[in-house]
Amino acid sequence: MTEPNSAIPLGAWLADLSDEQLIRLLELRPDLTQPPPGSIAALAARAQSRQSVKAATDDLDFLHLAVLDALLLLQADAAAVPVAKLLATFGGGKHTAAQITAAIDGLRSRALVWGDPAIRVTAEATSGLPWYPGQVTLESADTDAATIADRLSSLGAAERDLLERLVDGSPVGRTKDAAPGTPPERPVQRLLAAGLLRQVDDDTVILPRLVGQVMRGQQIGPSGIDPPDPVVTTMKPADADATAAGAAIDMLREVEVVLEAMSDAPVPELRNGGLGVREAKRLTKATGIDEQRLGLILEVTAAAGLIAVGLPDPEPADGAGSFWAPTVAADRFIESSTATRWYLLASTWLDLAARPSLIGERGPDGKPYVALSDSLYSTAAPLDRRLFLEVLADLAPGAGVDAASAAAALAWRRPRWSARLQLAPVAALLTEAHAMGVVGRGAIATPIRLLLTDASEDEVTAAMTKVLPKPIDHFLLQADLTVVVPGPLERDLAEKLSTVATVESAGAAMVYRISETTIRRALDGGSTAAELHALFERHSKTPVPQGLTYLIDDVARRHGQLRVGMASSFVRCEDPTLLAQAVAAPAMAAVEMRTLAPTVAVSAAPIADVLAGLRAAGFAPAAEDWSGTIVDIRARGARVAAPSRRRGYRPLSTPNAQTLGAIVAVLRKMASAPVGGSRLDPAEAMAQLQSAAHRQASVVIGYVDAAGVATQRVVAPVNVRGGQLTAYDPAAGRVREFAIHRVTSVVSAESG
C-alpha cells in the first residue's frame, strides 16, 4: 500500500486495497453492489453518499458510533487526525486503547474511515449518528434518569417550554442568553446551571442526549464503550431447556385448540382485513386463551400457513364473504411430531413480519390494532427478534435476563434502533419468546441456539427432541371422575383420552373430566363399553373408581337403543313403547317422523337433524349404516383449500462470493483499461463483440444506460443479433441484453 498521506482521498485509498479487502467491503455494505459500480471512483462516491452511510451504520454498536462521534468532533472529515489524538479523547488504559483500535479497524473495513496512522472520516457520518455530533464525546453519562427527572420536575413554565421545543425539533438552539454576563434568572441560564442544557458557544446551546431521552419517556443510554452485562440470573442450561420445552408443549396444545375452534366455527374476516374485536372475544371465550396470547397464536399460525382466509369447505351457514379457517396443512401439522411442530412455529415466529404485542392497542389514527390485519405489519420486527436472541445467545448457557437488562443491552448493540428497543417492546419480545418455547426463565434454549446458526431442520428438531419430556403412557384417575395427566401423553393415548374426556385445566399436569356427555361422544365415535373399560384399566396408575365403571355401563346400556338409519332417515328400536315415546316427543315435530312398524319409524329429514331432535328430547340415539354398524357422522371441520399469500419478511439478498469477485474484477479491469476520448462506432462494436462471442472470450465494455449513467463491466458475449448484445454478466449473476448503440468501448478482458 502507499505511504500514509493525510490528504489521500477515499478513491485512492480504495484503489490500494487488496481484492480480499474490497470483497470484504462489499460484503459489509451490499448496497454498494446495486448496481455494480463501474469504477473505483464510482465506488468511492457511492460509499460516501448519505443513504449508503446510513445503511452502513445501521448495524453498528455504541462503541463504533462513539468513535465516529469523536472523529467528527475532531474534524476528521476535513483533515486527517492521528490515531493517538483520537485515543487521547477517550482516555483509559491499554484495554480502552485496544477497544478503540478494534473499532477503527471495523470502521475502516466498511470504508467509513480510511488512512493509517492518520485517519479521515466521511463527512456524511453525521447522518449515521442517532444523536447530534458531540453529544456522546462531550457530555457526561454519570447522571441517572431519576436525577434528571427530579431536575425537570422543579422547572418553571418558561424553562419547560424551551426544553420541549428542543425535544420536538433540533436539539441545537440559538440564543443570546448563553453569553457570559447574562442574568442568572433567565431561563437559559437556569437550565445551564441545572445541567439540563449544554453551552456550545456564546450564541448556541444544545439539549443533552440523556435529558432528551428522559423527556421522551425513553430509557437513557447507552453510555459506556463497554457493553452492559444483561445477566440477572444464572441456572443450569438443562433447567432453562426444560422450562422452554414445557412452554412449547403448552403452545402446541393451544394451537390445536385454536385450530379445532376455527374448524368448528370459521371466523368471518373484516371488510378491510383482520378479525373484528367481537369475533376475537368470541374466539377467546371458546378457547379459554387470553386475547394477547391468542393474537400471537393467530399471527404465527397464519404466517405458517396453518390458517388462512377464504371460502371454507363446508361453507358456513351464518353469512357470506371470506372466513378465517384452518388450511389442509393443519391436518399434516397435527399429525407431526412435537419437535417438528415446534420447529415450524418457532422458525415462523422468528421471521414473522408483524408485531402481535400491538393487538388491542390503538394506532396513531386512533383505530385499534386487530389480529391478522396489515396494521401489524413490520419489516423491522424480524430484525428485532433476531437481535434479541443473538444477544441472549452470546451469553453463557443458562444465563438469564429480564426486560430491563435486555433492553439496555439491545440499545447498546444497536443505538440506531433504540427508539423501537425501549422497555415495553423488549418486554413484549421476552414474553413472546417464553410463550414460543425459545427462552426459559430468561435464558435462551439450546435448540434455538442451533436455529440461529442456520442449522438444518433435522439438527434443530433432534436437539428439541432431547429437551422435551419423554411421552408417558399412563394417567391418574380420581374419584371425582377427573383424569390427571402428569406429563405429555403418547400421541395415540392422548387421542383416545380426548374422545372420552374434555380438558378442564391445562398446564404442566393437565386435568381432564369424564362425564356422561363425553362417554356418549366416545360411543358415538364407535367405541364400545368394553374398550373404554380396558382403556382406563390399562393406563390408569390409580384404581378405576367404581362410579366410572357404573357410568360407562349405564350410558352404554341406553346408548343405541334407538337406531337412526340413512333412508333418508329411519329410526328403529326393539322396544315399541320407547319408539312411540320418541316419535311423539315435541322436539321431533320438526322432522315429521312416521311409524312404519312398532319398531321402525322414518323421516324425510337428514339423519343429523333426527339425531339432534332425539337428543333434545332426552334420548341417547346412535347412528348406524345400512348394515346396522354404528357410524360416526359428526360434522367434519371446515378447511380452506390453500393458504392465501400474506406479506412476509424477505431479507435483502446479498451477492455471493462469485458475484463479488466479478465486481472487483471489473473494477480492476477498469483501472487498467485505456481511456479513450472517442466513441466506438456501433459497426465496429458489433464486429468485436461477435468475435468475442465466437471465441467465448470475456470483454470489458463501456456502456451508457437509459438514464445516461456510464459504467464499465466485464461480460461474456453469447451472441449479437438485432442490434442487441446478449451476454452473461458475472457481476449480476445472470444473462442480460445490452443495446449495441449504447456500447462506447470494447476491450479484451485478457489484455488487462
Sheet hosting strand 113-114, strand order edge to edge: 81-82, 118-121, 113-114
Number of H helices, E strands in the chain: 29, 27
> How many residues are recorded in the chain?
752
| Dist CA 368 CA 354 (whole Å) | 15
CA distance 212 to 202: 22
Q: What is the DSSP letter of 361?
A: S
According to DSSP, residue 478 is labeled -
Question: Residue type at 269?
Answer: E
Q: What is the dihedral of CA 22, 24, 26, 30, to 10 degrees?
A: 180
Tell me how far apart the alpha carbons of residues 129 and 534 are, in angstroms, rounded to a whole number. 71
- Cα–Cα distance for residue pair 372/298, rounded to 1 Å: 7
| Residue 452 to residues 29, 249, 351, 734, Cα–Cα distance (Å) | 22, 21, 11, 30
pTM above 0.75, yes or no: yes
Q: At what angle do helices 491-500 and 529-539 cross, to 10 degrees?
A: 130
441 exposure class (CB count in 10 Å sphere: 0-12, 13-18, 19+): middle
Q: Which helix (H) or strand (E) holds 251?
A: helix 237-264
- Buried-exposed string 500-527: b where 16+ CB fall within 10 A, e elsewhere: bbebeeeeeebbbebeeebbbbbbbeeb
Q: Which residues pair with 234 in a beta bridge?
A: 399
Per-residue pLDDT, 3: 40
CA gap 476, 483 in Å, rounded? 6
Strand pairing partners for 563?
A: 572, 622
Contacts of 185 (CB under 8 A, 6+ apart): none
- Grid cell, residue 182, equals 447574562
Q: Which residues have a Cβ under 8 Å from the Cβ of 399 and sit 6 or more positions away?
A: 231, 233, 234, 392, 443
Q: How many other C-beta atoms are found inside a 10 Å radius of the C-beta of residue 193?
A: 10
DSSP 55-81: HHHTT--HHHHHHHHHHHHTTTTTS-E
At 76, is the secondary structure helix, strand, or coil? coil
Average pLDDT per 10 consecutive residues for the chain, totaling 752 residues = 58 93 95 85 87 94 96 92 93 88 97 93 93 92 89 92 93 91 92 93 93 92 91 96 93 92 91 88 91 95 93 76 90 92 96 94 88 92 96 96 96 94 96 97 96 93 93 91 88 87 77 92 88 94 93 90 72 90 90 88 87 88 80 69 58 78 84 59 79 87 78 86 84 85 81 52
Could you tell me if 700 and 749 are in contact, meaning their C-beta atoms sit under 8 angstroms apart?
yes
Predicted local distance difference test score (pLDDT) of residue 684: 77
The pLDDT value recorded for residue 636 is 59
**Structural contact between residues 549 and 481, judged by C-beta atoms closer than 8 angstroms:** no
SS3 731: coil
The one-letter code for the residue type at 207 is: L
Cell matching residue 417: 434502533
CB within 8 Å of 3: residues ≥ 6 apart: none
Strands (E) located in 584-682: 594-597, 600-602, 622-623
Q: How far apart are CA 206 and CA 132, in angstroms?
A: 9
Q: 3-class DSSP state for residue 714?
A: strand
Closest CA to 43 of 655, 670, 656: 670
Backbone φ and ψ for 231, nearest 5 degrees, come out as -70, 125
- Cα dihedral sign, 199-204-209-211: positive
Alpha helices in 621-707 (DSSP H): 657-672, 682-695
| Cα(159)–Cα(502) distance, integer angstroms | 65
Give the model's pLDDT for residue 245.
94
List residues bridging with 716 in a β-sheet.
Answer: 728
DSSP state of 509: S
Residue for grid cell 332426552: 618
CA–CA dist 698, 280 (Å, integer): 62
Spatial distance between the Cα atoms of 310 and 639, rounded to a whole number of angstroms: 9
Secondary structure of residue 513 in the 3-state scheme: strand
Strands 476-477 and 482-485, sheet pairing = antiparallel
- Contact status, residue 716 vs residue 735, Cβ threshold 8 Å: no
Q: Which of 284, 278, 299, 267 is nearest to 377 (CA)?
A: 299
DSSP 570: E
| Cβ atoms of 548 and 536 closer than 8 Å | yes
d(CA 664, CA 23): 7
All three cell numbers of 355:
408485531
CA distance 54 to 130: 10
pLDDT of residue 642: 62
Parallel/antiparallel/unpaired status of strands 113-114 and 118-121 = antiparallel
